[in-house]
Amino acid sequence: MSGVAAGSLSDGTREFLLCLADDEHLMGQRHTEWIGVAPFLEEDLALASIGQDELGHAAMLYELLSGPGRDIDDIALGRSAGEYRSCWLVEQKCPDWSDALVRHWMYDTAESLRWQMFEKSSIDELRGIAARALGEESFHVMHAEAMVAALSLSSDAHSRLAHSIAELLSLGVAMFEAPAGELDAIDDGVVSTSMVTLLPEWQQRVDARFGEQDWAAVDTVHQNGRTTRSDSFAPMYDVMREVLLIDPEAKW
């Protein structure tokens, strides 16, 4: 299929794309939490830039889902908590710098794989969004790799990294859980494959960076096709909507 109009998206495909959009939105929000408090000024600036990229990816997907003439604020911030479809990894609060870096590495390594699903999409706009996102994700992965490598040089920091991996690995695997609507997105030609087919490559990259993991022992996280929110979501949802609640006319 080629040249399918974005306005003709099936309900299942829209649900699938919403998962990706919400992932990017919340990851961008989480990165911005480190502005002014990261260990180095350079990292304040780097994470601000990366967070802006992720929010930009989210905005492009929300615009596609919103359709002409509809404000993307309605879909980005106007939904109830139960209508979000983000994975639990991006919802997780990571107040420890090591946790934030490992999450950054896990997420952007996954994104460098997930965006490839759209390179031959039947939706013209999605192919363009994917091309831009993949270019920016290459920088994100390089940054995450460099920061993890630097942190690994210290024996104390190396131990902290191992702890962060143990804490976040199950949430990392859960990124590849089939979201609601995935089969429709594949049938519509919007994506080329299911997310779970990308998991083995991601696991190999994790093993190469952090040492071989006991994948069989990793706990299963039940996100119910992304329809269930984690305990970390509610406080984040309140912060995201602070300005909107103060001024309903404000724009995202």
Q: Is residue 2 part of a domain?
A: no
| Whole-structure pTM value | 0.92
Q: Is residue 252 part of a domain?
A: no
Q: Is residue 1 part of a domain?
A: no
Q: Is residue 3 part of a domain?
A: no
Number of domains in the chain: 1
In SS3 terms, the chain reads as CCCECHHHCCHHHHHHHHHHHHHHHHHHHHHHCCCCCCCCHHHHHHHHHHHHHHHHHHHHHHHHHHCCCCCHHHHHCCCCHHHCCCCHHHHCCCCCHHHHHHHHHHHHHHHHHHHHHHCCCCEHHHHHHHHHHHHHHHHHHHHHHHHHHHHCCCHHHHHHHHHHHHHHHHHHHHCCCCCCCHHHHHHCCCCCCCHHHHHHHHHHHHHHHHCCCCHHHCCCCCCCCCCCCCCCHHHHHHHHCHHHHHCCCCCC
* CATH code of 137's domain: 1.20.1260.10
pLDDT in tens, 19-33: 999 999 999 999 988
pLDDT of residue 71: 81
The pLDDT of residue 67 is above 60: yes
Q: Is residue 138 part of a domain?
A: yes
Q: Is residue 180 part of a domain?
A: yes
The pLDDT of residue 145 is above 70: yes
Q: Is residue 170 part of a domain?
A: yes
Lowest mean pLDDT: which of 42-56, 91-105, 134-148, 185-199? Answer: 42-56
Write out the residue range of the structural domain in which residue 38 sits: 8-246
The pLDDT of residue 4 is above 60: no
pLDDT of residue 38: 57
pLDDT of residue 141: 96
Q: Is residue 144 part of a domain?
A: yes
